[in-house]
Amino acid sequence: MRIDVVTLFPEFVQQAAQVGVVGRAQSRGLLSVVTWNPRDFASDRHKTVDDRPFGGGPGMVMLVEPLRSTIRAARDAEGSAPVIYLSPQGERLTQRKVESLSKLPRFVLLCGRYEGVDERLIEECVDEELSIGDYVLSGGELAASVVIDAVGRLQDGALGDADSAKQDSFAEGLLDCPHYARPLREGDREVPEVLLSGNHALIRRWRLKQALGRTWLRRPDLLARMDLDKAARKLLEEFRQEYLADPD
């Protein structure tokens, strides 16, 4: 997959995409992140990309003309591609959306800075808007990096065996169970005994039960939208009983 990013801070986006699983996906040729700087497409000698808003008020607005030239260059570099504007006004990014983006051969991400981009550019060039959540960032670059990370790790062959095994696990849509490694004892905290039992069926059940229980405690909204099978409902009921007897 190829992701083109229109940004005033190309180094920022490139750096983020060179780390870890996503960096490896790039070096394995599974993912290519290409950046385009509107500054390079500004037509005046000052390389102007923004101006003060009509109607007054604080901040600056990104200009139509340099952005349109940049988006055209990026979008048409290799066939065509949908253009996604990262913006607080966008539809909220979810794992479902990440999965659907991960199946595209390519798309273009547009990052805003300042107060945002001229509305007419959005009307003309943008296919959809995406937000990564209800908090205020200073620009779209971090959001673009989030999209690239989440989509990049889903490319076939990007994850190691350990990670992909986790993916097809029983616990999809739930929070993760707790994890432990050496030492066996940390002060007065010990590793749960079941994990030392060598009984893999029992360990699997315990992990699922913890995942269900933690989701119930911390993200009941996630649990409400799932339909649990009989075994899972029983495990969650066990967790609830134990929790109500001894909440910690």
Q: How far is the CB of 109 from ligand 9D3 (least distance, A)?
A: 10
Residues 61-100 that bind ligand 9D3 (CB under 6 A): 86-88
Binds ligand 9D3 (CB under 6 A): choice among 10, 38, 112, 213: 112
- Nearest-CA neighbor of 116 among 97, 148, 90? 90
Q: Which of 44, 46, 123, 136 binds ligand 9D3 (CB under 6 A)?
A: 136
Q: Minimum CB separation from ligand 9D3 for residue 218, in Å?
A: 22
Beta carbon nearer to ligand 9D3, 110 or 174: 110
Catalytic residue among 75, 106, 153, 207: 153
> What is the distance between the terminal CA atoms of the chain, rounded to a whole angstrom?
46
Residues 89, 153: Cα–Cα separation, whole Å: 26
Task: Check: CB of residue 8 under 8 Å from CB of residue 38.
Answer: yes
Of the candidates 2, 53, 72, 88, the residue annotated as catalytic is: 88
Residue 140 binding ligand 9D3, by CB under 6 A? yes
Active-site annotation holder among 123, 168, 193, 227: 168
- Dist CA 107 CA 102 (whole Å): 10
Q: Are 25 and 128 in contact (CB under 8 A)?
A: no
Is 168 annotated as catalytic? yes
Q: Is 134 a catalytic residue?
A: no
Active site residue 88: yes
Residue 129 or residue 238: which is nearer to ligand 9D3 going by CB?
129
128 lies in the binding site for ligand 9D3 (CB under 6 A): no
Asked if 149 is part of the footprint of ligand 9D3 (rule: CB under 6 A), the reply reads no
Least Cα distance to 17 among 139, 108, 109, 145 occurs for 145
Minimum CB separation of residue 30 from ligand 9D3 in Å reads: 25
Residue 131: partners with Cβ closer than 8 Å, 6 or more residues away: 86, 87, 88, 89, 90, 91, 92, 93, 143
In angstroms, the CA 226 to CA 84 distance is 29
Residue from 20, 82, 133, 178 touching ligand 9D3 (CB under 6 A): that is: 133
Contact call for residue 53 and ligand 9D3 (CB under 6 A): no
Size of the site for ligand 9D3 (CB under 6 A): 16
Is 137 near ligand 9D3 (CB under 6 A)? yes
- The answer to whether 45 is a known catalytic residue is no
Contacts to ligand 9D3 by CB under 6 A: 86-88, 112, 115-116, 131-133, 135-140, 143
Where in the sequence numbering do the catalytic residues fall? 88, 115, 153, 168
